[in-house]
Amino acid sequence: MSISTVFWQTFIFFIFIFIGNWSIRKGIVTPQGNKSISALIVNVFNPAMIIGSLMKRSDYTSRDLVLKVFIIALCVYAFYIIFAELTNRFFSKNMDERKMYRLMVVFSNVGYFGVPMINAIYGANALIYVTIFVFIFNVLVYTYGISVLRSGKSDGPKFELKNFINVGTLASLAALIIFLFDIRFPELFERNVISLGDVTTPLAMMSIGFLLGTASLKDIFLQKRLLILTLLKMLVFPTIAVFLLKMTGLPLQVIGTCALMVAMPNGNLPVVLANQYGLDAVLGSEGVIMSTLVSIVTLPLVAMML
Q: What pLDDT digit, counting tens, does each position of 186-197 carry? A: 989 989 998 998
Split at pLDDT 50, 70, 90, the class of 176 is: confident
What are the tens digits of pLDDT across the range 60-117? 567 789 899 999 999 999 999 999 999 999 998 888 889 999 999 999 999 888 888 8
Split at pLDDT 50, 70, 90, the class of 273 is: confident
Are residues 159 and 147 in contact, defined by beta-carbon separation less than 8 angstroms?
A: yes
Instruction: Quote the DSSP letter at residue 232.
Output: I
Distance CA 130, CA 53 (A): 9
Work out how many domains the chain is built from and give that number: 1
Distance CA 30, CA 240 (A): 42
What are the tens digits of pLDDT across the range 4-33? 888 888 888 889 988 998 998 899 988 888
CATH number of the domain that 71 lies in?
1.20.1530.20
pLDDT value at position 58? 56
**Residue 70: how many CB atoms within 10 A of its CB?**
16
> What's the predicted TM-score (pTM) here?
0.84
266 phi/psi in degrees, rounded to 5:
-60, 145
What are the tens digits of pLDDT across the range 239-271? 999 999 999 999 999 999 999 999 999 987 787
CA distances from 155 to 151, 152, 270, 274 (A): 10, 9, 18, 13
pLDDT value at position 108? 94
Task: Write the CB contacts of 66 (distance below 8 Å, at least 6 apart in sequence).
Answer: 128, 129, 132, 179
Lowest mean pLDDT: which of 64-73, 93-102, 212-221, 297-306? 212-221
Instruction: Give the domain extent around 258.
Output: 3-305
